[in-house]
Structure 1
Amino acid sequence: MRFVIDLSVALRLIEERAKIPPQNSLVAPTLLRSQILSELFAAVEGKEFDRREANARLNHMRALKIRFLGDRVLQQVAWDVADALGWDDTFQAEYVALTKLQADAFVTLQDPLQRVLEGVVPLGSFDDLFA
């Protein structure tokens, strides 16, 4: 199966050094790379761990082979999603749009977002990534 993952899922996968089975693949909007980098930078600045650990986590992210997408169609659909859901920006909408366009399910650890998206796109659980 093909799953769209958001920042919450990506950070957990990276922290746990998880491996995704070959029958499943991960996709995300290109903005996820910047979100991960920013979160790791903040963690180092906040003394949660050192730069070496941040680099190890970045390397694990790269090993997950997440396919990053961000074309014109994704942007148009994200705009429409944000508009339809009454959101103030398009950041989360990019994940929803990508799910609509390219994936079987969207996985997030954010309960409020899951509730909003019920019936909008298929949702998966963290455990589904390993099934």
Structure 2
Amino acid sequence: MLHDVSAGKRTEAAAMEAHERMTETKMRLLGDRVSRRAAWRIARRHGWDTLRDAEYIAIARLQADALVTVDPRLAALARETVQVAAVDDLLAPG
């Protein structure tokens, strides 16, 4: 958002409003046994040799929510398991 303000793509007021909405969003962070086990299962099911991508996908799945990412590679991997949304969807009013 700071980059958008600097580039003139978004007003500072709009960026701060979006930032407020994001900070109000409840998030579950990886670290508990359930989320780590879910990440392990996702990675194994897809034949991945690391947990990095699976960790993000597991959290979205456990929360029954969409994965918000700007990484097209992660979005493509996640679409098989969870709904994927763009950052703009998260920042949209309403």
5+ residue gaps, structure 1: 1-12, 28-66
User: TM-score, length-normalised on structure 1?
Assistant: 0.51
| Mapped partners of 1:20, 1:128: distance in 2 | 15
What amino acid maps onto 1:93 in structure 2? A
Deviations 1:2-45 (A, max 9, x none): xxxxxxxxxxx5766760427x6152xxxxxxxxxxxxxxxxxx
| Mapped partners of 2:63, 2:55: distance in 1 | 12
1:87 aligns with 2:61: no
| Mapped partners of 1:14, 1:68: distance in 2 | 24
Relative distance call for 1:83 and 1:128 in structure 2 (3 A) is same
Aligned-residue sequence identity (percent) comes to 38
| Mapped partners of 1:89, 1:119: distance in 2 | 17
User: TM-score, length-normalised on structure 2?
Assistant: 0.68
Query: Which structure carries more strand by proportion?
Result: 1
1:121 aligns with 2:90: no
- Radius of gyration: which is bigger? 2
Paired residues, what number? 80
Tell me how large the CA RMSD over aligned residues is: 2.7
Relative contact order, higher structure (CA 8 A, sep 6+): 1
**Counterpart position of 1:25:** 25
